[in-house]
Amino acid sequence: MENGTHGRIWHTDERNNIAFSFYIKSNCDISRLDGMTTEVAETILEVLKKTYNINLKIKKPNDIIYNNKKIGGILCETKIVGEKVKAIVIGIGINTNKKDFPEDIKQIASSILNEFNIIIDNKKVIEEFCNIFENRIIRRIGENL
């Protein structure tokens, strides 16, 4: 279990799901980050559509859903000094290949495997996401990473 937004608990396991974070050092104006969480979600949807022909939806600003069930989420945190963003941490969790969920979240959470009967190559999805998002974040914050 990990932390989600608003202090909620995010249930995951390392073998069947995607759960990763990355750190970006920055010095950009805070205004450059408007809509970044949604852009992360859009990039994930793009990768899953291109790689597996899966159509998921975004429940703004940070949930990935299918059939009104949460499949994934994004958590972006920043360190701000004055008007400058000094660091960004982006955490991503996607229920990909998990079959069973705890009773307390069964009705509101699911996985790609449960919804589409497709086994996801987690490493491939992470690599493709990073390849695409690196270019987008460079354009957004205007710096070399």
Reference 76, options 114, 133, 117, 14; nearest CA is 133
Confidence band (pLDDT; 50, 70, 90) for 8? low
In one-letter notation, the amino acid at residue 27 is N
57-87: pLDDT as tens digits: 999 989 999 999 999 999 999 999 998 999 9
Please state, for a pLDDT cut of 70, what percent of the chain lies above it. 88
Q: What is the model's pLDDT at position 37?
A: 92
120-132: pLDDT as tens digits: 999 999 999 999 9
| Helix, strand, coil percent content, the chain, rounded in steps of 5 | 35, 35, 35
**pLDDT value at 96 more than 50:** yes
Q: What is the model's pLDDT at position 31?
A: 87
Q: What is the model's pLDDT at position 93?
A: 94
For residue 124, give every residue at least 6 positions away whose Cβ sits within 8 Å of its Cβ, in sequence order, or none: 51
**pLDDT value at 144 more than 60:** no
**pLDDT value at 4 more than 60:** no
Before 61, cis peptide (omega within 30)? yes
The structure tokens 């608003």 sit at: 6
27-59: pLDDT as tens digits: 888 888 888 899 999 999 999 999 999 999 999
The domain limits of the chain are 2-141
Instruction: Match domain 2-141 to its CATH number in 3.30.470.20, 3.30.930.10, 3.40.50.2300, 3.30.565.10.
Output: 3.30.930.10
**pLDDT value at 145 more than 50:** no
Count of alpha carbons within 13 angstroms of residue 77, beta-carbon side: 10
pTM as predicted: 0.86
**pLDDT value at 117 more than 50:** yes
- The neighbouring-strand residues paired with 78 are 88
